[in-house]
Amino acid sequence: MGSGIAQVAATAGCKVSLYDTSLEALDKAKVSLNKILTRLVEKERIDEAEKKRIQESINYVNHLKDLASSRITIEAIIENLEIKKKVFSTLETYVSEDCIIASNTSSLSIASIASALKKPERCIGIHFFNPAPLMQLVEVIPAIQTAPEVLQKSTQLISDWGKTVAVAKDTPGFIVNRVARPFYGEALRIYEEGIADFTTIDFSLKKLGGFKMGPFELMDFIGNDVNYTVTETVFKAFYFDPRYKPSFTQKRFSEAGYLGRKTGKGYYSYDESGHIIRDKTHDTINSELAQQIFDRVLVMLINEAADALFLNVASATDIDNAMTKGVNYPKGLLAWADEKGIQWCVEKMDELYRNYHEDRYRCSPLLRKMNKENKTFF
């Protein structure tokens, strides 16, 4: 991730210092960047002169003092709050007074990270999506300590780098990792109830919803260990709200080492090229069952997006941009709600609640209010 962000900044014309404590990691990053740029030349997206310019714009360093002249630093290390705070407090002793210190964390509290600094007002979250050079979205997350000018400078810089900015409140998971939870969680719940298998659920979301990958394919791609940890982190951070409850199925797969594509086995088995070994076709899948699965996952996603708007996590436009440009959803969820009808969303959520009587299936107050007032999101 760090080298990807460095590539984005260098491509946009910035001088970049890429820091790591490991010289081996820096050498690996340099070799990797050369391969990526060579492929871009082969595809005629850049020429040799541009490749050379980008490479010469990145300086590989292994001491924090080499970052002294930086106007902004973006940390992209392990998702461990205490480690991040330690790095930030040390980094602050080397950089200038007006240097912005940003974290690429995907779910940790920016306010907590900022508290490690003597000048917490300079801290902000700048969350890229992997791979950073290809993914259009960047979430920018001001902490309650963040100075307004730091937010303004950060959003302007990321926009200048050619990215789409979505400003998010400093809440667990920000936009994407919060709103996307039902895509995985509800799919796992459907499986655990015995309604359908992995293949049927994935097929339903891809065929009827236009998703590029089904939830089980995507969890295998991300890694069950990584995806489970994010879910568990969000669940705890939201004071154990049942909407974000992790799945025992995913926990057991993680414990068994069935992590997905990177281990050759997850919800699916993979060949040496990383392709799924299919053991059934989709020819006999019941269309009514597929619709039931798709509707259930979709309305849970819409409900989560609506609740994020209700609680002022982000604007409606930023929420939809986050989901289409951050995780490649085929449509923005709030626009999708308008298309399906707000009444349809409320009725589907109420039907789930009547069936289960679990707080997991509570309808967002915003959807109820909009239904009563006959309003739409856009």
Residue 246 CA to residue 188 CA, distance in Å, equals 9
Q: Which of 75, 92, 139, 217 is catalytic?
A: 139
Catalytic residue at 139? Answer: yes
Q: Which of 3, 70, 107, 177 is catalytic?
A: 177
Q: Which two tokens stand for residue 27?
A: 């050498």
Residues 375 and 342 sit within 8 Å (Cβ to Cβ):
yes
Residue 290 CA to residue 286 CA, distance in Å, equals 6
Residues 229 and 244 sit within 8 Å (Cβ to Cβ):
no
Residue 309 CA to residue 315 CA, distance in Å, equals 6
Catalytic residue at 3? Answer: no
Residue 196 CA to residue 180 CA, distance in Å, equals 21
The position carrying tokens 């760090």 is 2
Dihedral sign computed on CA atoms, order 80, 86, 90, 96: positive
CA neighbor of 163 nearest in space, from 215, 187, 130, 128: 128
Residue 190 CA to residue 27 CA, distance in Å, equals 45
Three-class SS state of 109: coil
Q: Which of 106, 227, 321, 364 is catalytic?
A: 106
Catalytic residue at 127? Answer: yes
The set of residues, in sequence order, having a beta carbon less than 8 Å from that of 67 and lying 6+ positions away, is 17, 19, 61, 73, 91, 94, 95
The tally of CA atoms less than 13 A away on the side-chain side of residue 19 is 15
Q: Which of 75, 104, 127, 154 is catalytic?
A: 127
Q: CB 340: neighbour CB atoms within 10 A?
A: 15
Catalytic residue at 97? Answer: no
The position carrying tokens 């003092």 is 65
Tell me the C-alpha to C-alpha distance, in Å, between residue 132 and each of 1, 162, 265, 326.
7, 12, 26, 10
The position carrying tokens 């509290």 is 109
- In the chain the first and final C-alpha atoms are separated, in Å, by 34
The set of residues, in sequence order, having a beta carbon less than 8 Å from that of 231 and lying 6+ positions away, is 181, 184, 185, 244, 246, 247, 250
Q: Which two tokens stand for residue 122?
A: 């300079």
Q: Which residues are catalytic?
A: 106, 127, 139, 177
